[in-house]
Amino acid sequence: MSEQDVSRIVDLLIRLRENGLSAEENTELQAWILRNRELFEELNNHEMILAELRDDDLSVQKIFTTIRSRGIGASLSGQAPIRNINFKSRLIAAAVILILVSTGTYFWLHKSPSHESDQASLAGKKYQADLPPGGNRAVLKLANGSTIILDSAHNGLLSKEGGANIEKKDGKLSYHSLPEKPTEIQFNTLMTPRGGQYAVKLSDGSVVWLNAASYLRYPASFSGKRREVELKGEAYFEVAPSTHPFVVNILPSATGVGGGRVEVLGTQFNINAYEDEAVMKTTLLEGAVKFSIGEKEQGVRLEPGQQAQVITGKIKVLDDADVGEVVSWKNGITSFKDADIKSIMRKVARWYDVDVVYQGEIPERTFMGGITRTSKLSELLTVLELSNIHFELTGKTLLVKP
C-alpha cells in the first residue's frame, strides 16, 4: 500500500468527518472498505494498534498531523484487494482511523448502485436469516370505527365522509373537499406500524409524511378558524399557506416525554416525538413556527435551521441543526450523526420491525453516515460490525453483543 494510497484514504476519512464527501468520494471510500474488509477490521483493533505505535515509538498525534498536511494521492478505483501492506504505512492509516474512532466518530456509507451486489454478497455470507426493509404500510381508521389496510387497498376512491372524498394513489392518501359542508367534524386516524411509512394530503392541501410506528389524527375536512391535528411518533409536514393557523398537538408519551404544540401558517418542519426517545425534537426547514409546551404555553419561535429540543420539561433551541440528517428518513435514507448504538437500534427496530436485545457491555462509540432505507437488515448489520459490535438475528429478535 503506497503512501499516496494511504494519504488518499486518510484524506477521505478526515473530510468525511469535517465537511462530508461527494457522492463519487463516498463510492470510492466504500469500494475500498468492501475490497479490504479484513484490513479495515484489523485497523479497528485499537489495543493492538496502540501497542504497535508504542513499540515503534510513534506519536499518534504526530502521525495525524503529518498525514493531514499531505496532498491527495492517487485514486484507489480499480485496484486489487490489499493483502500485504507496508508496516509503517499501515500504522499511519491505523493511527488516523484510531483518532477518528476514539473521538467518537465512525461511519458507514451510502450504498451506491455499482456496489449493491458487493455489499449484499458480504451480508449474505454472514447472515443466513434476514429481514426486508419497511415500506408503504399503514392503517386508516375512519370516523365510524371501520379500518382500511392501505398497503392492500385498491387505488382510487376508498371512502366518503366528513365532507371529503378519500382516495389512494401510488402509496399516498389524499382528501378532496366536497362542495357540501359536513354537519359535524369527522376525525380520521392514520397509523403506521413498525416497518411502515405513509404520506397523506389533507383537505387543505397540506402534506404529511408519517414515519414508522406513528399516529396522526385529523379531520376529514377542516372547518373553523384553526386547522388542528394530533401526532405521536415522527412526521414531516408541508403546511399549505392559509389565514387559518395550522396546529400540531404532540401527544405526551407514556414515559412523560413529549406533549407540546406547533403552530404555523404555512411552512415545512419535522417533529420527532417517539415514546422511546428521551428528547422530543421539532426542526424547522422553511418559514416560521411557534413551539410551546405545558399549560402555561412556555414557547419559542423558530427560524429555518433551528431545532427545539424538549429535555426534562425544558425547551432548548439548537441554532445549527443538521436538517439533512433530520429529514433523511423522508428522503429514503436511514441516517445518523453522532448517534450511539442504542439510538441506532431504536431506528432499526422501528424500520425493520425487529425486537432488539442486548448482551454484555456494548462498546461506547458514536456513528455518522447512512444507508438507503431499501437495504436489507443484513446489509446494515454487516457494516456496523466493522466497529467490533456483533449481531445474531433469530426470527424477529436481534441480539446485540460485543
pLDDT digits (tens, 9 = 90+) for 34-53: 666 555 555 555 455 555 54
Q: Is there a domain that residue 128 lies in?
A: no
Per-residue exposure over 3-23, b if at least 16 CB sit within 10 Å of its own CB, e if not: ebbbbbbbbbbbebeeeebee
Q: Is there a domain that residue 266 lies in?
A: no
pTM of the model as a whole: 0.76
**Does an H or E element contain 118, and which?**
helix 116-126
Q: Is there a domain that residue 41 lies in?
A: yes
Of the residues 86, 103, 120, the one at which a domain ends: 103
Residues 51 and 97 in one domain: yes
Number of domains in the chain: 3
Sequential pLDDT tens for the chain (402 residues): 555 666 676 677 666 656 666 667 766 776 666 666 555 555 555 455 555 545 554 454 455 454 444 432 323 333 333 334 444 555 555 555 554 444 444 444 444 444 444 444 444 456 667 899 999 999 999 999 999 999 999 999 999 989 999 999 988 999 999 988 877 899 999 999 999 999 999 999 999 999 999 999 999 999 889 999 999 999 999 999 999 999 999 987 654 555 789 999 889 999 999 999 989 999 999 999 999 987 666 789 999 999 999 888 889 999 989 888 899 899 888 888 778 889 999 999 999 999 999 998 887 777 767 778 888 898 888 777 766 688 999 999 999 998
Q: Is there a domain that residue 342 lies in?
A: yes
Q: Is there a domain that residue 340 lies in?
A: yes
- The CATH number covering residue 360 comes to 3.55.50.30
Residue type for position 151? D
Cβ pair 258, 310 in contact under 8 A: yes
Report the SS3 class of residue 224: coil
Rounded Cα distance between 311 and 195, Å, is 27
Residues 89 and 26 in one domain: yes
**Can you give the pLDDT at residue 19?**
61
**Can you give the pLDDT at residue 37?**
57
Quote the domain boundaries for residue 390. Answer: 333-401
Rounded Cα distance between 42 and 346, Å, is 28
pLDDT digits (tens, 9 = 90+) for 5-38: 666 766 776 666 566 666 677 667 766 666 665 5
Of the residues 223, 251, 275, the one at which a domain ends: 223
Q: Is there a domain that residue 300 lies in?
A: no
pLDDT digits (tens, 9 = 90+) for 69-128: 443 232 333 333 333 444 455 555 555 555 444 444 444 444 444 444 444 444 445 666
Q: What number of CA atoms fall less than 13 Å from residue 146's CA on the CB side?
A: 7
For residue 209, the 8-state DSSP code is: E
Euclidean distance between the first and final Cα of the chain, in Å?
Answer: 30
Rounded Cα distance between 189 and 220, Å, is 9
Residues 154 and 218 in one domain: yes
Q: Is there a domain that residue 308 lies in?
A: no
How many residues are recorded in the chain?
A: 402
Of the residues 193, 223, 253, the one at which a domain ends: 223
Q: Is there a domain that residue 132 lies in?
A: no
